[in-house]
């Protein structure tokens, strides 16, 4: 993606199912779980580079001994920093007490994170400050072991304000308004309630306070707690939690917007936002990993019992297609094939744009995340050329000689590496102000790779704001002096804001919206936009479940092609001498490529939760009123 687009976040959970002595003996390490967690977060660092954190819970600790520990960082290289802190604690202890190196009991009692249960998180901040305080996991602490709660997640709630007000009405005083705190306190409220009710029942049965503790741990019903806590949640989420006594859970939203996968064998349970993280770290097969189904919760009891339960009534599954296009790593078997198909399906539009002149057309891609779609495009171009060659040979079989046959068979798609990424510069680009200037130097162009008679086709995975394309990349490519630059987005036009964890919440930022507004103002008078604005205001006064997306009316008068042409005009600055055309994937073809991941609200405006419609209307209201703020 040429535009910088943040996305919140990546999750990893590990529960060791055997005593720590087992891992010491088999793998030679008391920190087997910690080491695996480090690898799982590193394998998902693409999902978050603004911060990283993890927490651990030790099972069966005696009173007076710490059983929960946490590390967090919002500094550069946060994953390495937090695990260095953990490993330094271990090293310092062993250096001070060499005899404890192989003494699991000593290490567990004295060294943080020599534990059986872990929850890790990498964060991209789509909302709020990038500070250590904003980094997951969050803690809710209590002297009752069962009331301690650790929470981390990949989520965004559209109705956080209402949930916050509900907590206040319950008599709580949340320390901040972030949706993470709100969600944690809501789960915590029902956890406290459950513990209290179980204890009161045990007290009536004559069970002592001390004996009650272990019984409470057995009787806590996480399914019921999460069912009550999530009743009014509106958003996309995968939320993981650890309870102080050793239970754990991961819950997924009812539309399956955010991804979650889990693996279990007789040694470990592992959960991650991306399947390849588990495959690589535990050296397991594709078919050994399960997806947590929409509306389900994976529950791991302290006893080691593992099961899934439906917590929220599932709706039509609308898994986020942007995960497939861009966010998740392309090393996933299914995602790799889907991205190739996205490139394949856009080929016919390119053929039309170059008037079928593949002799004078060069194919390339920028940035690296578009590489797999590029392969799919090139494979389709090769198939097209092979078919052309076959037809030429069959139609001229009586006239073909060795030389003409060689000429026909030697024709291949022209593929060039026109832009080379200078990876050393990448880490210094930390804010949008400096990005436009610095990105010119992040890529070096390959001089001499393009002729002045050539069409240059550049594949991008998606175009959100278009700012980097306009200010930097197109100007850089223009120095190669092609006849025409064709920018191909393997994703459709991004027309609507996201409210489930992707950092594209302001309508005016979206180049497809800006282009459509330009068309709108050319075709209609300003009263029409004003009417749409007033309709949005009135619509949002309704009950959330009855609200419709009024903003679709902005796009209805125009075809995809008209909007694409207007985007091309916006992107072509006066100092760009090459012709510029932008091609977008169609929504129909997106669904063909990703048939099991139909969440397309940023393209179609069809939001999977009622809160999405309220957010998109509010986003347009903000635009019309000149407010460059989020709608949630």
Q: 226 in the Ramachandran plot: left (φ > 0), alpha (ψ -120 to 50) or beta?
A: alpha
Q: Does domain 10-317 have CATH number 3.60.20.10?
A: yes
Delimit the domains of the chain by residue range.
10-317, 330-624
Q: Is the pLDDT of residue 428 over 80?
A: no
Determine the pLDDT at residue 430: 46
Average pLDDT rounded to a whole number, residues 226-254: 97
Query: If you average pLDDT over residues 203-218, what whole number do you get?
Result: 90
Query: What is the average pLDDT across 370-391?
Result: 96
Query: How large a percentage of the chain has pLDDT more than 90?
Result: 78
| Residue 176, pLDDT above cutoff 50 | yes
Per-residue model confidence as pLDDT tens digits over 576-598: 999 999 999 999 999 999 999 99
Measured CA to CA, the distance from residue 329 to residue 291 in angstroms comes to 16
Query: CB of 7 within 8 A of CB of 372?
Result: no
The confidence band for 315, taking pLDDT boundaries of 50, 70 and 90, is confident
Beta strand ranges found along 66-175 (DSSP E): 68-73, 117-123, 138-140, 149-157
Residue 436, burial from CB neighbour count under 10 angstroms (0-12, 13-18, 19+): middle
Strand pairing class (443-445; 419-421) = antiparallel
Q: Is the pLDDT score of 447 beyond 90?
A: no
Count other C-beta atoms under 10 Å from residue 97's C-beta: 14
pLDDT reading at 425 higher than 70: no
Looking up tokens 């459509």 gives: 516
Return d(Cα 134, Cα 149) in angstroms, integer. 17
pLDDT in tens, 214-225: 899 999 999 999
Report the mean per-residue pLDDT for the chain: 92
Find the range with the poorest average confidence among 25-39, 153-167, 240-254.
153-167
**Residue 18 CB burial class (10 angstroms; 0-12, 13-18, ≥19):** middle
Alpha helices in 131-274 (DSSP H): 160-169, 179-204, 209-219, 222-229
Structure tokens at 176: 């901040």
- Phi, psi angles (nearest 5°) of residue 533: -60, -50
> Which tens digits make up the pLDDT trace of 9-44?
999 999 999 999 999 999 999 999 999 999 999 999
* CA nearest neighbour of 248 among 279, 271, 278, 214: 271
- What pTM was estimated for this model as a whole? 0.92
What are the φ and ψ backbone dihedral angles of 73, each rounded to 5 degrees? -155, 140
pLDDT grade for 125, boundaries at 50, 70 and 90: low
Answer whether residue 172 shows pLDDT above 80: no
154-168, 289-303, 317-331, 563-577: which range is least confident on average?
Answer: 154-168
Residue-wise pLDDT tens digits, 41-73? 999 999 988 899 999 999 999 999 999 999 999
pLDDT at residue number 399: 86
Q: Which CATH architecture has domain 330-624?
A: 3-Layer(aba) Sandwich (3.40)
pLDDT of residue 426: 45
Place of tokens 């996480």: 222
Mean pLDDT for 258-274 is 98
pLDDT band at 472 (very low <50, low <70, confident <90, very high): confident
Judge whether 350 and 488 are in contact, CB under 8 Å: yes
Give 420's pLDDT tier (boundaries 50, 70, 90).
Answer: confident
Q: Check whether 2 has a pLDDT greater than 80.
A: no
Which tokens in the block code for residue 285?
């097969």
| Residue 99 exposed, middle or buried by CB count within 10 Å (0-12, 13-18, 19+) | exposed
Which DSSP string corresponds to 506-553? Answer: -GGG-HHHHHHHHHHHHHS-HHHHHHHHHHHHHHTTS-GGG---TTHH
State the pLDDT at residue 427: 42
Q: What CA–CA distance (Å, rounded) separates 148 from 172?
A: 17
Residue 448 has pLDDT above 60, yes or no: yes
pLDDT of res. 289: 98
């Amino acid at each position: 993606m040429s535009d910088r687009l943040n996305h919140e976040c990546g999750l990893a959970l590990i529960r060791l199912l055997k005593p720590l002595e087992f891992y010491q003996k088999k793998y030679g390490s008391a920190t087997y779980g910690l080491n695996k967690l480090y690898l799982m977060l590193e394998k998902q660092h693409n999902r978050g580079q603004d911060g990283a954190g993890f927490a651990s819970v030790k099972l069966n600790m005696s009173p007076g001994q710490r059983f929960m520990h946490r590390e967090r960082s919002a500094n550069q290289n946060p994953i390495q920093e937090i695990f260095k802190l953990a490993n330094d604690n271990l090293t310092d202890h062993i250096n001070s007490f060499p005899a404890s190196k192989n003494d699991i009991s000593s290490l567990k009692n004295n060294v943080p994170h020599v534990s059986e249960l872990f929850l890790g998180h990498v964060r991209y901040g789509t909302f709020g400050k990038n500070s250590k305080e904003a980094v997951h996991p969050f803690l809710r602490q209590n002297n009752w072991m069962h009331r301690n709660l650790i929470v981390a997640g990949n989520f965004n709630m559209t109705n956080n304000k209402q949930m916050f007000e509900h907590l206040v009405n319950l008599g709580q005083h949340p320390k901040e308004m972030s949706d993470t705190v709100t969600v944690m306190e809501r789960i915590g409220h029902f956890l406290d309630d459950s513990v209290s009710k179980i204890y009161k029942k045990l007290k009536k049965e004559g069970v002592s306070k001390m004996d009650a503790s272990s019984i409470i741990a057995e009787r806590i019903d996480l399914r019921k707690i999460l069912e009550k806590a999530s009743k009014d949640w509106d958003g996309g989420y995968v939320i993981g939690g650890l309870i102080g006594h050793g239970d754990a859970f991961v819950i997924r939203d009812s539309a399956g917007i955010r991804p979650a996968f889990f693996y279990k064998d007789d040694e470990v349970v592992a959960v991650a936002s991306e399947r390849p993280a588990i495959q690589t770290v535990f050296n397991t097969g594709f078919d050994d990993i399960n997806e947590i189904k929409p509306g389900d919760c994976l529950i791991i009891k302290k006893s080691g019992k593992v099961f899934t339960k439906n917590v929220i009534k599932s709706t039509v599954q609308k898994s986020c297609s942007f995960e497939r296009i861009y966010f998740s790593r392309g090393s996933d078997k299914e995602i790799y094939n889907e991205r190739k198909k996205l490139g394949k399906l856009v080929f016919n539009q390119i053929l039309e744009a170059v008037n079928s002149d593949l002799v004078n057309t060069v194919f390339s891609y920028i940035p690296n995340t578009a590489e797999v779609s590029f392969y799919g495009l090139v494979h389709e171009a090769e198939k097209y050329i092979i078919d052309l060659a076959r037809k030429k040979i069959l139609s001229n079989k009586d006239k073909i000689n060795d030389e003409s046959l060689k000429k026909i068979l030697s024709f291949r798609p022209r593929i060039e590496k026109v832009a080379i990424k200078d990876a050393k510069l990448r880490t210094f680009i930390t804010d949008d102000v400096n990005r436009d200037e610095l990105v010119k130097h992040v890529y070096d162009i390959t001089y001499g790779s393009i002729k002045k008679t050539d069409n240059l086709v550049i594949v991008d995975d998606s175009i959100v704001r278009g700012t980097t394309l306009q200010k930097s990349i197109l100007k850089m490519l223009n120095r190669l002096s092609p006849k025409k630059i064709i920018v191909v987005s393997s994703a459709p036009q991004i027309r609507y804001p996201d409210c489930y964890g992707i950092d594209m919440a302001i309508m005016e930022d979206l180049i497809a919206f800006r282009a459509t507004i330009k068309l709108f103002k050319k075709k209609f008078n300003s009263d029409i936009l004003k009417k749409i604005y007033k309709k949005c205001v009135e619509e949002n006064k309704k009950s959330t479940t009855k609200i419709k997306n009024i903003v679709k009316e902005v796009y209805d008068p125009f075809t995809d092609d008209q909007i694409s042409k207007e985007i091309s005009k916006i992107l072509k600055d006066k100092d760009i001498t090459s012709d510029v055309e932008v091609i977008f994937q169609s929504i129909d073809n997106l669904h063909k490529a990703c048939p099991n991941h139909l969440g397309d609200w940023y393209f179609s405006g069809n939001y999977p939760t009622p809160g999405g419609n309220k957010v998109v209307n509010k986003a347009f209201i903000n635009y019309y009123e000149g407010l460059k703020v989020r709608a949630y």
